[in-house]
């Protein structure tokens, strides 16, 4: 990953938007496959629908979908910065968390500053929806109040082994005010749609205003952003 280049891009441009996303859900529901597919498709999709700008097709993760992907260890952090035009830069930051119970106490660190969360469950595993519901509850209680939450019923390609009704999850999502899609990370069905509707629900202003106070962390911010990093919710 050519982080140096990205940094230069950011410095040269006018506006920086940050798109901070966290993936949550029980282990083995396909979170990591999800973001791989997501990143691959996002730039190909109708970004200009959202950002009114040129699309820069970039693929920075070349992983193919892997049926036997190893579990994520702890959490994986992915960033990618793309320039939509000379003045607009969007920085994606994705926290892909491990689904195992033992990592649960670390989760607040990952969703604390996220402006959107994708809670994933596996339509073939009844327990995974319960887990997803508890994540939603936790997010609504503890995360940023403006966070956009999407519920994704993954592995829709395995519909023959479906254990969770689409309607049931749909009803739950409507009740709690979540975006809802049944997706397949394997066939990329609905993955694009899910992320586009997240983006639509989240105005650019919010993306810019909601930037995480990261202390001295982000060097390029001094160039681009007017607001110095406030010592708001970061405990460092």
Own/partner pairs, 167-172, CB within 8 angstroms, 24+ separation: 169/121, 169/129, 172/129, 172/133
Beta carbon of residue 199, minimum distance to other proteins (angstroms, whole number): 22
Q: Which is nearer to other proteins, 54 or 219 (CB)?
A: 219
C-alpha to C-alpha distance for 38 and 191, rounded to whole angstroms = 6
- Chain positions contacting other proteins, by CB under 8 A: 3-4, 27-28, 30, 32-33, 36, 61, 63, 66-78, 96, 98, 100-103, 105-106, 109, 155, 158, 186, 214-217, 219, 235-236
Beta carbon of residue 47, minimum distance to other proteins (angstroms, whole number): 22
Beta carbon of residue 161, minimum distance to other proteins (angstroms, whole number): 8
Q: Which is nearer to other proteins, 80 or 88 (CB)?
A: 80
C-alpha to C-alpha distance for 203 and 200, rounded to whole angstroms = 7
Could you tell me if residue 155 is left (phi over 0), alpha (psi between -120 and 50 degrees) or otherwise beta?
Answer: left
C-alpha to C-alpha distance for 158 and 122, rounded to whole angstroms = 10
Q: Which is nearer to other proteins, 148 or 218 (CB)?
A: 218
Q: 63: which DSSP letter? A: P
Q: What are the Cα distances from residue 126, in Å, to 15, 158, 163, 165, 194?
A: 44, 14, 6, 10, 22
């Amino acid at each position: 990953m050519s982080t140096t280049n990205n940094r230069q891009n950011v410095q040269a441009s006018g506006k920086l938007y940050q798109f901070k996303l966290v993936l949550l859900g029980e282990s083995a529901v396909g979170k990591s496959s999800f973001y791989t597919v997501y990143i691959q498709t996002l730039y190909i999709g109708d970004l200009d629908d959202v950002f009114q700008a040129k699309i820069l097709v970039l693929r920075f993760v070349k992983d193919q979908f892997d049926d036997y992907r190893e579990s994520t260890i702890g959490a994986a952090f992915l960033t990618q910065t793309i320039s939509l035009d000379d003045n607009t830069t969007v920085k994606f930051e994705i926290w892909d968390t491990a689904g195992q119970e033992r990592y649960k106490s670390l989760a607040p660190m990952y969703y604390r500053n996220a402006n959107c969360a994708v809670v994933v469950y596996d339509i073939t595993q009844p327990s995974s929806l319960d887990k997803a519901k508890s994540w939603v509850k936790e997010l609504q209680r503890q995360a940023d109040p403006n966070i956009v939450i999407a519920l994704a019923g993954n592995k829709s390609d395995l519909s023959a082994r479906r254990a969770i009704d689409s309607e049931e999850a749909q009803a739950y999502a409507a009740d709690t005010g979540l975006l809802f899609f049944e997706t397949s990370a394997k066939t990329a069905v609905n993955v694009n749609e899910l992320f586009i509707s997240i983006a639509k629900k989240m105005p650019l202003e919010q993306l810019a205003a909601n930037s995480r106070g990261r202390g001295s962390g982000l060097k390029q911010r001094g160039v681009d952003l007017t607001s110095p990093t406030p010592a708001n919710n970061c405990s460092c």
